Structure 1
Amino acid sequence: MKRLYQAFDPYIALMFATILIAAIMPAHGKGAVVAGTAADIGIIFLFFLYGARLSPQAALGGLLNWRLHIAVLLSTFALFPVLGLSLQYFIPASFPPALVTGILFLCVLPSTVQSSIAFTSIARGNVPAAICSASASNMLGVFISPILAGWLLQAQGVELSFGIFRDITLQLLAPFLAGQLLRRWIGGWIQEKKAVLSYVDRGSILLIIYVAFSKGMVDHIWQQVELYDLIFLFGVLTLLLAVVLAITALIARKLLHLSREDEIVLQFCGSKKSLASGLPISSVLFAGPQVGLIILPLMLFHQWQLIVCAVLARRYAAQPELKTDLVK
């Protein structure tokens, strides 16, 4: 119980409090327009900060360990989507389509940066490699995730129209690249103001959540979801995480014969999905009241992955420092 408490992120409590506020006082009319505009501005600012924070040197450095980095990227952008598509065959027809869309959307997102590196450090893994892999995943995810989402979600009615490409370019790619270009001059200032800016970007994400769930409340979308749907969703997400962790461990030990330190990197960087990147991308890709349901799987998976990986990291840390290729 203590481990579960330590793994719980208080920010998640704020997210669910925001959902409660949206349920009681949803934005509608002019208020919805103002909140939506503010959320769009927040998305632009978020991706500008992502670009200014992520070091190209960190993402490109350590390329000599190319097998590990490719394995992480394949787990993030290939294994997860394949598993997401496979899960559809086990989901009953009565399950809300928006939640199915949310599961697939979750599967195309990049890995986290901070938590992947933190858990790798706790588990005594290869931290420089984790920095490289997680940073590369996030930088590539800005480009890859929207394209993968449009390709995989066509069956759910999501199409990459010109308008979506325009919004992706203006709200995601342009500010991200601007942050990268200006990083040389503002990177130090952003590092100094890291604590203050963290409140700003987290506040922007809370606003995105509020706008998304307000749309659902105004259009009564939550009447389509039953309690057993949420229980089933949690079971699907648990199965997804367990399968990814098992496959990445198997690949690290039996296929690539990675060291214990690199196995830890593959486990933690290859099994995570970024809430910070996923929520803004969802606001650009999806429109209408269904957005609240679409992002729900991501929010649940985010907290569950933190709890599971916190326990796993401590198990790794308790083990003797042996190379995995020596343990058959």
Structure 2
Amino acid sequence: MRKIDPFLLLIMAAVALAAMVPAEGASAEALDTLGILGIALLFFVHGAALPREVVIAGLVQWRLHLFIFAITFLVFPLVVVPFGILPRAWLPADLLLGFLYLAALPSAVSSSIAFTAMARGNVPAAICSSAASNVFGLLLTPILLSLLTRSSVDQGMDLGTALTDVVVQLLLPFVAGQIARPWLAGIMARHERRIGQLDQAVILLIVYAAFSQSVVDGLWSRVPPASVALTAVLCLLLLAVVLAFTAFVARRLRFSRGDEIAAVFCGSKKSLASGLPLAKVLFAAAPGFGMIVLPIMFYNQIQILVGAVLARRYASGDTAEPASP
């Protein structure tokens, strides 16, 4: 039996702490400033840790990468947009916005690579595709989300402001990290575990701040428990549809087994590590921030649990039919 992910327990603890002792006033402002600095440091470190040689070597598999990009940035929105027909009593506007944001996010790097390796798939392609998805996603996600919100929810986005914030707070630190990589590569390699801990620390900080704001604003007293349950069900349904579609089309395109595995895991994953910091930039002033990030938090945990089972199935060769959870 698979053990509960310790990081999931930490996220639950952060949510519980915010419910009991939410940050208010000066504490909330200090927490917000700390979050901004933490996000900038996080993307600087990721820029310094990403080997350019790996990205360049993987770019030659353009057919596979285009397919994964299409799943990540086209198929996901096409599956999520119909959620908008659900009654607002079931799926409030902030939760719908959260699902649209989830659909526009790039692929997760670490879990995509880890599950591809576990399933004995094409690891170099997974590294290249997931890394490129995150780099391009910093700019593509706000643009795609702007298009989706105009047609599906009552609140649009100021695209110019969003892109400016993303460039200043995320992209510039990442580029600075890439420039500094020749001097920091050795340090990054020696402290890979600490980089993972930095990821988790920043995410926990954002989760606590987000849910503190929601508690102070009285948001959760207005959210029906049925909406929270529906969020979990929709996340599971979304993952099932994307997994089945990706595996089915990959086989029709005659990808090798290793490439199919990379496509399935890179295409179906959504990045919590990029998603929460990016949400902090895009929705910093939104009173419903806690509800907006709820789908990505649910989806992240479901994709990890399902991914572990599916990776074992691939590794054992038990995937005669299109993959599904």
Which TM bucket (shorter chain)? Answer: over 0.9
Q: Distance in 2 between matches of 1:148 and 1:209?
A: 24
Q: Does 1:39 align with 2:41?
A: no
Q: Which residue of structure 2 aligns with residue 167 of structure 1?
A: 165
Amino acid at match of 2:313: R
Q: Which residue of 2 is the match for residue 140 of structure 1?
A: 136
Deviations 1:46-79 (A, max 9, x none): 1111211222322232333221111011111111
Q: How many residues align?
A: 317
Give the whole-Å Cα distance in 1 for the aligned partners of 2:182 and 2:138: 20
Structure 2 counterpart of 1:54: 50
Q: Does 1:272 align with 2:272?
A: no
Q: Partner amino acid for 2:51?
A: S
The equivalent of 2:98 in structure 1 is 102
**TM-score, normalising length from structure 2?**
0.93
163-172 vs 264-273, which moves further: 163-172
- 2:62 is matched with which residue: 62, 66, 69? 66
Aligned residue type for 1:262:
D
Q: Distance in 1 between matches of 2:156 and 2:280?
A: 13
Q: Deviations over 1:222-260 (max 9, x none)?
A: 112122111111111111101100110111111x11111
2:305 match: 307
2:189 paired residue number: 191
Q: Map Cα deviations across residues 86-106 of structure 1 (whole Å, 9 max, x no partner).
A: 2323x2231211111111101
Cα deviation code 1:154-197 (max 9, x no counterpart): 33413125443332221111111111111121122122122233
Note the alpha carbon deviations across 1:112-136, whole angstroms, 9 max, x for none: 1111111111111111111111111
Point out where structure 2 has 5 or more consecutive residues left out of the alignment.
Answer: none
Q: Secondary structure at the match of 1:262?
A: helix
- Counterpart residue number, 1:85: 81
Q: Does the 8 Å contact 1:58/1:135 carry over to 2? A: no
Letter in 2 for 1:92: P
Provide the C-alpha distance between the structure 1 equivalents of 2:25 and 2:159, rounded to a whole number of angstroms.
27
Whether the aligned pair in 2 keeps the contact of 1:102 and 1:293 (CA below 8 Å) is yes
Give the TM-score normalised by the residue count of structure 1. Answer: 0.92
| Separation of aligned partners in 2, 1:197 and 1:245 | 29
Instruction: State the identity %.
Output: 44
1:10 is the counterpart of 2:6: yes
Residues 1:227 and 1:215: Cα distance change in structure 2 (over 3 Å): same
Distance 1:273 1:224 in 2: 28
Amino acid in structure 1 at the alignment position of 2:302: W
* 8 Å contact kept, 2:165–2:281: yes
Counterpart in the other structure of 1:158: 156
Q: 1:118 aligns with which of 92, 114, 117?
A: 114
Q: 2-side partners of 1:320 and 1:167: how far apart?
A: 45
Q: CA 1:133–1:186 in structure 2 vs 1: closer, same or farther (change >3 Å)?
A: same
Greater displacement, 120-129 / 149-158: 149-158
Q: 1:320 to 1:248 in 2, by over 3 A?
A: closer
Shift in CA distance, 129/197, structure 1 to aligned 2, threshold 3 Å: closer
Per-residue CA deviations over 1:256-286 (Å, capped at 9, x if unaligned) read: 1111111111100000000000000000000
Distance of 1:289 and 1:248 partners within structure 2? 36
CA distance in 2, matches of 1:128, 1:200: 24
Q: Distance in 2 between matches of 1:165 and 1:78?
A: 20
Match of 1:239 among 206, 222, 237: 237
> C-alpha distance in 2, partners of 1:269/1:247?
13
